[in-house]
A and B are shown apart, each in its own frame.
Chain A
Amino acid sequence: MKLFWLFVSSCCCLVFLSLGVDAVELNYQLVPRQLSSDTYVFVGKTEDFSFENGGNIVNTAFVMTSAGVVVIDTGSSLRYGEQMRQAIAKITDKPIVQVINTHHHPDHFFGNQAFKDVKIAALPTAIEDMEREGGAFSDNMYRMTGDWMRGTEPLAATEKLTADSLNVGDHKFKLLVLQGHSHADLALLDEKTGVLFAGDLVFYNRTPTTPHADIAKWLDALKQLEQLKFTYLVVGHGEVLQDKRAIVQTREYLQWLDQSLKASAESGKDMAEVLQTPIPEKFAKMPLVNFEFSRSVVHLYPALELAVLKPAS
């Protein structure tokens, strides 16, 4: 709807809009929330990318170890990464020694440029995907957030994470190599603090997104995360909680999505009819549920409808 509005409005309106944003100096107003003596999170809005939020819709985090600071995900733009770095510098004067990207989606790695003097690590498949899809992501992000992206060029992680744990100073991170939200999703459990960084495998009160999803694998990943003992669960999008509510919510939504799309395919519905599926009351208040559901139909329905057709003779 927003984009439609932009389309029909005149160029003057667009200029006016971007001037309006410039006036507030494109500040993400990143304020870290402290989870433990050495762990902080920047909690993003539960919205879609927009000219107003500039892409600050994601959770990023940092951990201060005895050897320096570990940054987990770098946000949606060069500017986000820079402002994140400034916000970290207000908390600690320790150097940043390690950056980790949980997966290849732009809101999790487009701030990498601000950390190019630091080792940036990710799962090998995620690195390949960043390299392959970064350009297309970038076009989209410029379209959706405009000036906030200025100067941003996708910078893929360079260091491949292949071990099952990572030691930095006095912190040991258990590395869980999972998939389902994307082709390679990394979750990190900080064994010192018990904080679980789940990336986009878990959403809370923000409808999960599925452009690269494999629902069966995703549900499997959630099963594994649910077995873990943690003090805090840092989700990719949504509030940080101390219990498993976010895992349960993400699982229930994905199960409903999967079952309702399969039932639609099985009953011969056309994709345009599937878009009309009523959202159960349980999820109806989740931000962006109508929008994300209709996106998910386009992502997931083609394989399901094909599976119920038979070769003609």
Chain B
Amino acid sequence: MWRIYRLGLMALLPMNVLAIPVDPLNSVQWTTMYNRFLKDYPVQFDSRVQVLAPEQAENSMQVPLAVKVEGLQTIEEILIFADFNPLPKVLTFYPQQALPFIGFRIKLQQASPIRAAVRTADGWHVGGKWVDAAGGGCTLPSAARNSGVWESQLGQVQGRIWQQPSAQRVRFRVIHPMDTGLASGIPKFHLEEINLQDATGKTLAQIKPAEPVSENPIFSIEFPKNLPLPTLHISGRDNNANKIKAELIP
């Protein structure tokens, strides 16, 4: 009887230990991030998940970031987080009909790994990069809060669709202060969901931004060449139930 019990323990323990791979970025926050975001599926670090970002953030409130995935099939979601941000979760992207690429800018509170975890049928594939930052990106008020001109334009969208040789590139900007709730006296106020739909209302891709996405975010995404895109409908809402609704025509 004790033997069986022990065997059972043996089978469980090493699996749990092995399930947390050693972090190539050597971040002391890795285990916390793993437990918070990734532990429900197997995790592997994967060079096919590329994070493009500068070595050093010139502006902690607008750190450029793009995630490119090559060679992974049937992607369910792309989760982006920054280990050392007071609010680590940055954004979740559900590519659906879109190609596994997304670009935008984030607020960084201090030097941190920025990671992209791509979930496929066999679990998470994780890529990442350390970005140094002078600090304060998450706890400073947005530029709009200082200038006070955002209210009349809240939710307005600008954008464009490019026909490129290998893809249809979409870039769009939404006017929103994207307040983290960490700047003193300014409650959390940010876009929560953006849906990209075709003319029939079918969802082509979904973006769920969290607090660290930069003010007036400008997103870059791509659709395959063979996807008909006579128009692209952009709809969504923030955490105060303000709606956005817009239409891009190529």
A residues with CB within 8 A of B: 1, 3-4, 7-8, 140, 143, 267-276, 291, 294-295, 297-299, 302, 305-306, 308-313
- Interface mask (B183-204 → A, CB under 8 Å = 1, otherwise 0): 0000000000000000000000
Quick one: which of A7, A295, A299, A309 contacts B159, CB cutoff 8 A?
Answer: A309
Q: In this assembly, does B36 line the interface, its C-beta being within 8 Å of a C-beta of chain A?
A: no
Q: Is the CB of B103 within 8 A of A270?
A: yes
A306 vs chain B, min Cβ distance (A): 7
Q: Is the CB of A271 within 8 A of B134?
A: no
- CB closest chain-A residue, reference B156: A311
Given A270-B103, A312-B156, A312-B159, 19 additional A-B pairs, CB 8 A: A3-B56, A3-B134, A4-B55, A4-B56, A4-B132, A8-B26, A268-B169, A270-B220, A273-B52, A275-B54, A294-B54, A294-B55, A294-B58, A295-B58, A298-B64, A309-B159, A309-B172, A311-B157, A313-B247
Q: Which residues of A contact B37 (CB under 8 A)?
A: none
Q: A154 CA to B164 CA in the complex, in Å? A: 50
Given known contacts A4-B111, A271-B105, is B158 in contact with A311 (CB within 8 Å)?
yes
Secondary structure dominating the interface of B = strand
A272 vs chain B, min Cβ distance (A): 4
Give the size range of B's interface with the partner.
35 or more
Q: Is the CB of A1 within 8 A of B55?
A: yes
A208 vs chain B, min Cβ distance (A): 15
Q: Is the CB of B111 within 8 A of A298?
A: no
Q: Is the CB of B246 within 8 A of A312?
A: yes
Q: Is the CB of B103 within 8 A of A268?
A: no
B246 vs chain A, min Cβ distance (A): 4
Q: In this assembly, does B65 line the interface, its C-beta being within 8 Å of a C-beta of chain A?
A: yes
Q: Which residues of A contact B243 (CB under 8 A)?
A: none
Q: A7 CA to B172 CA in the complex, in Å? A: 35
B54 vs chain A, min Cβ distance (A): 5
Q: A306 CA to B156 CA in the complex, in Å? A: 13
Q: Is the CB of A312 within 8 A of B234?
A: yes
Q: Is the CB of B171 within 8 A of A4?
A: no
Q: A305 CA to B62 CA in the complex, in Å? A: 14
Q: A18 CA to B193 CA in the complex, in Å? A: 48
Given known contacts A273-B103, A309-B173, A312-B248, is B59 in contact with A298 (CB within 8 Å)?
yes
Given known contacts A270-B220, A273-B52, is B246 in contact with A313 (CB within 8 Å)?
yes
B93 vs chain A, min Cβ distance (A): 13
